[in-house]
Amino acid sequence: MCGIAVCYSKKFNSQEIVKNIINKIKHRGPDNESFLNLKNISLGSCRLSIFDLSSKGNMPMTDSTGRYTIVYNGEIYNFKNLKTEFNLNTRTNTDTEILLEMYVKKKEKCLDYFNGIFAFVIYDKQEKSFFCARDHLGVKPLYYFYDGENFVVSSEINGLSKFHNNKLNLNQLKSYLTTSFYDYGVDTFYENIKQLRPGCYIKYLLNNNTFKSEKYWDLKNTKNKISNLLNKNITEQDLVIQANTLIGNSFKLQTKADVKIGLNVSSGIDSQLMLHFVNEINQGQKDVAANSFYFDDQNYNEMPDLQKTSNELNWNINYYKITSEDIIKNFDEILKIQEGPFPGVPTIAKSLLIKRAYDQNCKVILEAQGGDDVAGGYKYIFGPYIFDLLKTAKFKKILSESLEFKKIEGKSWIKLINFIYKSISTIHSGGLSADGTNNINLDILDKNFLKDNISDKSEIINDISTINGNLNKIIYRDIFFTKLQRILKSCDRSSMAYGKELRVPLLDRNIAEFFYNLNSDFKIKNGNLRYLYRKICESKFKKNAFVKKKYVSDPQIKWLKKDLFDWAYSILSDEKTFYDGIYNSRKLLNLFDNFRKNEKEQNSNLFWQAICIKKMIKNFTADKYS
């Protein structure tokens, strides 16, 4: 796991640019910095050593012929299997060299063989070309600047500050504020800075200046690949066994490293599942560190529930308290680390957990992210599911599922019908939080900002238009454009800021393909979301997994109404950003004051957005926004 930088330019000093990028992102790889400088071309890397800790694994790494050179951020978990399968002769014991040799043999088709998380650039000296690729689900980032003549790559936006000049991409910002979708797709929150989408690669031929980006893997086209796992006569128990095998294989691969590993854990069923698999694979805790943050409030303190699981497995878990004062003291640092708006208090809590809990010898952290996303665990997916049933005239099933869902969620019929309508209508437009409540308010935005900028959702609409079924559409949308992408960005920055690799075993591509292609009856059943996933959990830790999901697991709403109110109000009312051209700050402040006073107001998303954006404008952007 590393930080990478590449520059090709006849206008700029490539060597100087790459050196500057690596200096800005060196926290990603504290073990080594190396460079390769050619005419108009420079490649650089800061390395976090996970496999083969010797200097032979440093990058940039060139193959035995001297033709291909790679800089790479990530892990290919199945690299040892690939070495055997393709009889690869290597000088190191790194996955970097396996990746490079696979490219030499297979070119872009090598991506079909990788199980891992990665973002890399390979320079072909003979062809004079760059090949850049990003992993299937977008766990690792790759940002770039390309203007037709100059091409610059960095693992983080911060490394490309020379090319965005601290200017916000107002079109992307408008999309975010009117949908709550983060910087999905190719565009980012910063002018001129693009990101390579998950499952895509770039091929750039320098001699004829041909630049193309193509998708090499698409989740919605993987049905045939796993058809042998999902035949028509398969039973629920068979599916549970198969899913257990897939998840177990992922944890077996991702618990391997030449350094110490740790776990970030919580009381949720995803974390419980992770603890049981790791305990089984490792035959106990042994030297695996397990850490968790908690809030000293009985309504949000997960420690007692987590402690029950740790006692059952005889694991020791270290707990780190997060206070409202921690949020105030650390907000600016975390905003800089996250390079833009971030989900909220849990992101700060996770960053502080990693900073406080892991010493320099523990470089790999596993976290149970992705269960809700790949298996369908967010409340608002129920509406699209009902709409699919309606289109196939399954009226009896609509009634039975609605009755059960209504009972589980404690909704009246009127509220349930209204909720279903809203969740169907917002597949493309967003605006609903995980708990199904509204999280946007256009009235607090500047009228000229709304009028003058474009909110283009065509990238989402075009990508999901060919998907059969609204349930799969919204799950696909969440994975590639909304929920999961913001989680993965938060995870990457929170860990790499302190030189740690964060792995997400539940997001193995094989697991994602399996759950996505399940029949909808195994995704939602008896009113329960992610039904089969919960059955897997029950089979593993032998207790009821069909409990109501806890949608609010942190005190952000409570703190913004009390402990953090004055702090937040001072940011939202700051003179420097009061007339920022984005918000109608007077209306925003009035709404925030009403939020504090009204106990029924239970969605803080738009206020957290505003805090992030106001701080970005004040701290990072050019004078034109002041």
Strand, coil or helix: what is 432? strand
- Please indicate, yes or no, whether residues 429 and 532 belong to a single structural domain of this protein: yes
Task: Report how far residue 521's alpha carbon sits from residue 530's, in angstroms, rounded to the nearest whole number.
Answer: 10
Residue 105, domain member (yes or no):
yes
Structural domain including 393 reads 221-549
What's the pLDDT band for 170 if we cut at 50, 70, 90?
very high
What's the pLDDT band for 104 if we cut at 50, 70, 90?
very high
Q: What separation in angstroms does the CA of 110 have from each of 125, 215, 259?
A: 19, 14, 27
DSSP states along 588-612: HHHHHHHHHH-TT----HHHHHHHH
Query: What is the average pLDDT across 155-171?
Result: 92
Residue-level pLDDT at 626:
35
Residue-level pLDDT at 550:
66
In CATH, what number is assigned to the domain containing residue 323? 3.40.50.620
Q: Which of 549, 564, 579 is the endpoint of a domain?
A: 549
Residue-level pLDDT at 1:
65
Query: What is the average pLDDT across 61-77?
Result: 95
Angle, vertex CA 343, rays to CA 626 and CA 433, nearest 5: 115
Residue-level pLDDT at 624:
44
Residue-level pLDDT at 439:
78
What's the whole-number average pLDDT of the chain?
Answer: 92
Residue-level pLDDT at 432:
72
- Please indicate, yes or no, whether residues 206 and 299 belong to a single structural domain of this protein: no
Global pTM reads: 0.94
Whether 623 has a pLDDT exceeding 70, the answer reads: no
The position carrying tokens 């990058």 is: 59
Task: Report how far residue 487's alpha carbon sits from residue 475's, in angstroms, rounded to the nearest whole number.
Answer: 15
Whether 625 has a pLDDT exceeding 50, the answer reads: no
- Please indicate, yes or no, whether residues 200 and 276 belong to a single structural domain of this protein: no
Residue 596, domain member (yes or no):
no
The tally of domains found in the chain comes to 2
Whether 231 has a pLDDT exceeding 80, the answer reads: no
Residue-level pLDDT at 622:
47
Name the DSSP letter for residue 548.
P
Whether 88 has a pLDDT exceeding 90, the answer reads: yes
- Please indicate, yes or no, whether residues 426 and 463 belong to a single structural domain of this protein: yes
Q: Is the model more confident about 52 or about 191? A: 191
Q: What separation in angstroms does the CA of 353 have from each of 194, 249, 360?
A: 30, 28, 14
What's the pLDDT band for 614 if we cut at 50, 70, 90?
very high
Residue 555, domain member (yes or no):
no
Residue-level pLDDT at 552:
56
Q: What is the pLDDT of residues 425-452, one digit of tens each?
A: 888 877 677 767 777 889 999 999 999 8
Q: What is the pLDDT of residues 329-344, one digit of tens each?
A: 999 999 999 999 998 9
Task: Report how far residue 135's alpha carbon sits from residue 75's, in angstroms, rounded to the nearest whole number.
Answer: 10
Residue 449 CA from chain centroid, whole number: 28
Q: What percent of the chain has pLDDT over 90?
A: 79
Beta strands in 509-558 (DSSP E): 524-525, 528-529
Q: For residue 122, with 0-12 CB atoms within 10 Å meaning exposed, 13-18 middle and 19 or more buried, which class applies?
A: buried
Q: What separation in angstroms does the CA of 281 have from each of 227, 474, 498?
A: 28, 34, 27
- Please indicate, yes or no, whether residues 337 and 421 belong to a single structural domain of this protein: yes
What's the pLDDT band for 110 if we cut at 50, 70, 90?
very high
Residue-level pLDDT at 462:
86
Residue-level pLDDT at 541:
84
Residue-level pLDDT at 236:
93
Residue 29, domain member (yes or no):
yes
Query: What is the average pLDDT across 270-289?
Result: 95
Residue-level pLDDT at 437:
73
What's the pLDDT band for 549 if we cut at 50, 70, 90?
low
Of 445, 484, 384, 459, residue with least CA distance to 137: 484
Q: Is the model more confident about 625 or about 382? A: 382
- Please indicate, yes or no, whether residues 433 and 303 belong to a single structural domain of this protein: yes
Residue 185, domain member (yes or no):
yes
Whether 52 has a pLDDT exceeding 90, the answer reads: no
Handedness of CA 321, 327, 330, 334 (dihedral sign): positive
Other beta carbons within 10 Å of 606: 20
Residue-level pLDDT at 608:
96
Q: Which of 549, 583, 608 is the endpoint of a domain?
A: 549
Task: Report how far residue 366's alpha carbon sits from residue 250's, in angstroms, rounded to the nearest whole number.
Answer: 11
What's the pLDDT band for 360 if we cut at 50, 70, 90?
confident
Whether 375 has a pLDDT exceeding 60, the answer reads: yes
Residue-level pLDDT at 351:
97
- Please indicate, yes or no, whether residues 167 and 236 belong to a single structural domain of this protein: no
Residue-level pLDDT at 548:
66
- Please indicate, yes or no, whether residues 305 and 183 belong to a single structural domain of this protein: no
What's the pLDDT band for 184 if we cut at 50, 70, 90?
confident
Whether 98 has a pLDDT exceeding 50, the answer reads: yes
477, 427 in Cβ contact below 8 A? yes
- Spatial neighbors of 375 by CB under 8 A, at least 6 apart, are 515, 523, 530, 532, 533
Residue 13 CA from chain centroid, whole number: 33
Task: Report how far residue 487's alpha carbon sits from residue 347's, in angstroms, rounded to the nearest whole number.
Answer: 9
- Please indicate, yes or no, whether residues 344 and 408 belong to a single structural domain of this protein: yes
Q: What is the pLDDT of residues 294-333, one digit of tens each?
A: 998 888 888 988 999 999 999 999 999 999 999 999 999 9
Query: What is the average pLDDT across 204-217?
Result: 96
In CATH, what number is assigned to the domain containing residue 47? 3.60.20.10
Task: Report how far residue 122's alpha carbon sits from residue 132's, in angstroms, rounded to the nearest whole number.
Answer: 6
Kindly state the tokens that stand for 607.
Answer: 């206020």
Residue 569, domain member (yes or no):
no
- Please indicate, yes or no, whether residues 31 and 180 belong to a single structural domain of this protein: yes
